[in-house]
């Protein structure tokens, strides 16, 4: 993508795209920037239009790739230096960001542990199996009713 398109992005659009890249939703971005969610949506829409992207995350990735310095957001409030061990252990620094002192923050949209995620996957799989069994049983029951009543759906009375 050419530099002209990126130069047409204003600062708010860039900020919104950087926060989208951190997996924040419009309401969260609005809260962080002190804007209304509608305004954030408008900024993202305009940024997508300028960059020719169909999705905000695609536009955010394009911006991050263009900037190529892993500067994808602001440092969290209250965390100023590297000596903060709680921050350092919970959020890994990127390879390039570690050299520059910039940390990448990835937010998990759903606060599930790995065990909860595994349980959710197993639960969904069991539900799909149960629904498939119920569908097969229902088809079998319908077939049995048709056979018992000697109804042949290939008869001309059932054709249109």
Q: What is the pLDDT of residues 114-149, one digit of tens each?
A: 899 999 999 999 999 999 999 999 999 999 998 898
Q: With contact defined as beta carbons under 8 Å apart, do 113 and 121 qualify?
A: no
DSSP string, the chain: --HHHHHTS-HHHHHHHHHHHTT--HHHHHHHHT--HHHHHHHHHHHHHHHT-SSHHHHHHHHHHHH-S---SPPPTT--STT-HHHHHHSPPPHHHHHHT-------SS---HHHHHHHHHHHHHHHHHHHHHHHHHHHHHHHHHHHTT--TTSGGG--
User: CB atoms < 10 A from the CB of 74, how many?
Assistant: 13
Which residue ranges make up each domain of the chain?
A: 3-75, 114-158
Among 8-17, 89-98, 110-119, 120-129, the range scoring the smallest mean pLDDT is 89-98
Among 11-20, 31-40, 43-52, 62-71, the range scoring the smallest mean pLDDT is 62-71
Average pLDDT over residues 99-128: 77
| pLDDT at residue 144, rounded to an integer | 94
CA distance 112 to 35: 29
pLDDT of 87 higher than 60: no
CA distance 33 to 27: 10
| pLDDT at residue 160, rounded to an integer | 55
Distances (CA, A) of 81 to 73, 94, 104, 130, 158: 16, 16, 14, 53, 78
Assigned CATH topology for domain 3-75: Arc Repressor Mutant, subunit A (1.10.10)
Position with higher pLDDT, 102 vs 159: 159
């Amino acid at each position: 993508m050419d530099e002209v398109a990126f130069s047409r992005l204003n600062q708010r659009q860039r900020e919104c795209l950087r926060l989208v890249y951190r997996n924040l939703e419009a309401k969260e971005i609005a809260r962080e920037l002190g804007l209304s969610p509608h305004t954030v949506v408008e900024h993202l829409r305009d940024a997508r239009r300028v960059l020719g992207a169909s999705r905000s995350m695609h536009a955010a990735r394009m911006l991050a790739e263009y900037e190529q310095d892993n500067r994808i957001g602001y440092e969290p409030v209250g965390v100023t230096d590297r000596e903060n061990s709680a921050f350092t252990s919970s959020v890994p620094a990127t390879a390039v960001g570690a050299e520059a002192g910039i940390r990448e923050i990835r937010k998990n949209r759903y606060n599930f542990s790995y065990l909860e995620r595994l349980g959710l996957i197993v639960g969904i799989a069991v539900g799909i199996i149960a629904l498939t069994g119920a569908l097969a049983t229902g088809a079998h029951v319908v077939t049995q009713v048709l056979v018992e009543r000697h109804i042949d759906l290939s008869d001309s009375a059932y054709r249109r």
